[in-house]
Chains A and B, each alone.
Chain A
């Protein structure tokens, strides 16, 4: 049973709508990190703080029936596409009420009813899945568009480049969105990427642009142009969004204390904050109303998640086969 949420009646592509999205993702991630520290979320998470403008801007350009595939840093995409924060948080906490019934956790959140075809824990793996979904939509006669989010680390994965080739070759309605936060775990872009990221798209003849990934409006404008192009049958595009990850690659860093970014760099990176950039476009009263509403949504999500039952271990391998086939048990006797 999901928590009923009062949705603020602002279109997602309005200034208030964009602000609500970035505010919601930020508050959600802050509380999720707290729950990792308290032990309520096991395994840790890859926080999306700092990158909110990309999910908010891209998803605001999409229809409900458009599809997305996401990364191991996927909470922001899933929330921006409209997933219930309570059920996302319940999934992170491994509860039976979670989006994936506690079978997926942080890195695999999916909501097929909303076109969220799954976050993916293998870097670069989702691009080809997105291309297949886009092709299937076109075969149905639909003008649905499919978006693949990935990080800068993924641009060196062969399967992603193969997927770009297929999408461009077959003029599929795909939007490749690279979130360039400067680091693939701890490896800097300059130590990893030969050439440029947009050059990867250009090599396949794909319109490719680099935009400010800290400003939701800028991302929305770029995404809208690419989505319109895809919907019109003019093929895929690549958008490289320059962004900065405010928090750790993964919450294990809070314990491991690995050092790969100077304090000055992190301080400076946090200066341009998508929540503040978009918040400045609202009047104070409106901003306060959204903040309060988001706070109540996230509070309710936390309560819902922590009050929800754990899945029954007897069903650990439920859903392994779509046909219902049961696997042989592993125990002795």
Chain B
């Protein structure tokens, strides 16, 4: 079977949706020459009216997409770095997200915000290394963080077809992941439905994006010692709470690993909801970036604020001892 990289899966999803629906178009900075590679080949296939290079005007092109979406189009914006979402936060959270309710249901804003390379790429320092998915989940914007090539394809496809704004975070640490799979089998993946990547009996590890692969590696390392279930919600908002509850009903123990800051992060919400809804045998644990982290430049410093496998291993052992 052929290999498909996560990166190529995003490219394939864009191409398939552009071909399927004439309302879909892609816009962003340097998308014609595909600096990030995610839009490679699309200009040649679909022309400049479907693949729009924009000036460096994040606020304007984000609301431009909102206006086009309210007029029947399905824009996909590619943001070259995650921090650009801070510039466009007003346009996404305070405009696009609010139009359906504020107009009493008169309109919909089907815009997809695609952020390839989110999180630390190591060496990109303070303003290029954030992974701000928790902000959008908090605001109620549908937020997706795929872990694998087939999920990257399936979730991006669903995001483009969704009638609401959706942010798709493709972590830098996952872009190079490859899977041996049948291209014909690629299919949309519904939002809000999690995936158990590895069955286990003793503890549930919740992870999204590239951290799923770290969780799987740790689970494998600990296989003789402890049986780890790896649960990937795939979308952090809406979250598959029933899927989490089913896993915890089996294991009764919870560790969350989350590449966002600890304060008000996704890990905090998962832990809180599990405490409210589930019958946990012991207090849960979480592994996150520190409170208020700004990613420092030097390699060792950068890595020091990323959740890592050693921390996850320690957290798993801790909840098992209790």
Nearest chain-A residue to B241 (Cβ)?
A: A328
Indicate which residue in A102, A122, A169, A325 contacts B55 across the interface (CB closer than 8 Å): A169
Asked if A323 and B162 make an inter-chain contact with CB atoms under 8 angstroms apart, the answer reads yes
Tell me the bound Cα distance from A101 to B55 in angstroms. Answer: 38
Chain B residues with CB under 8 Å of A169's CB are: 55
Indicate which residue in A101, A146, A163 contacts B60 across the interface (CB closer than 8 Å): A163
Chain B residues with CB under 8 Å of A135's CB are: 64, 67-68
Asked if A131 and B67 make an inter-chain contact with CB atoms under 8 angstroms apart, the answer reads yes
Give A127-165 interface residues, CB cut-off 8 Å to B.
127-137, 139-140, 146, 158-159, 162-163, 165
Chain A residues with CB under 8 Å of B238's CB are: 325
Indicate which residue in A108, A129, A327 contacts B67 across the interface (CB closer than 8 Å): A129
Asked if B72 and A140 make an inter-chain contact with CB atoms under 8 angstroms apart, the answer reads yes
- Given A132-B69, A136-B71, are A163 and B103 neighbors across the interface (CB < 8 Å)? no
Minimum CB–CB distance from B58 to chain A (whole Å) comes to 8
B 149-167 to A, binary, CB cutoff 8 A, 1 in contact else 0: 0000000000000111000
Asked if B63 and A325 make an inter-chain contact with CB atoms under 8 angstroms apart, the answer reads no
Asked if A110 and B106 make an inter-chain contact with CB atoms under 8 angstroms apart, the answer reads yes
Asked if B60 and A103 make an inter-chain contact with CB atoms under 8 angstroms apart, the answer reads no
- Given A132-B65, A139-B49, are A322 and B109 neighbors across the interface (CB < 8 Å)? yes
Nearest chain-A residue to B88 (Cβ)?
A: A159
Indicate which residue in A101, A136, A139 contacts B105 across the interface (CB closer than 8 Å): A101
Asked if B63 and A100 make an inter-chain contact with CB atoms under 8 angstroms apart, the answer reads no
Minimum CB–CB distance from B95 to chain A (whole Å) comes to 6
Indicate which residue in B64, B69, B71, B72 contacts A163 across the interface (CB closer than 8 Å): B64
Indicate which residue in B68, B95, B101 contacts A122 across the interface (CB closer than 8 Å): B95
B310 within 8 A of A: no
B124 within 8 A of A: no
Indicate which residue in A112, A139, A159, A320 contacts B101 across the interface (CB closer than 8 Å): A320
Top 10 nearest A-B pairs by Cβ distance?
Answer: A132-B67, A101-B104, A162-B60, A322-B108, A128-B63, A136-B71, A319-B105, A129-B67, A100-B104, A132-B64
Please list the residues of chain B having a beta carbon within 8 angstroms of any beta carbon in chain A: 49, 54-55, 57, 59-73, 75, 90-91, 94-95, 99-110, 140, 142, 162-164, 192, 238
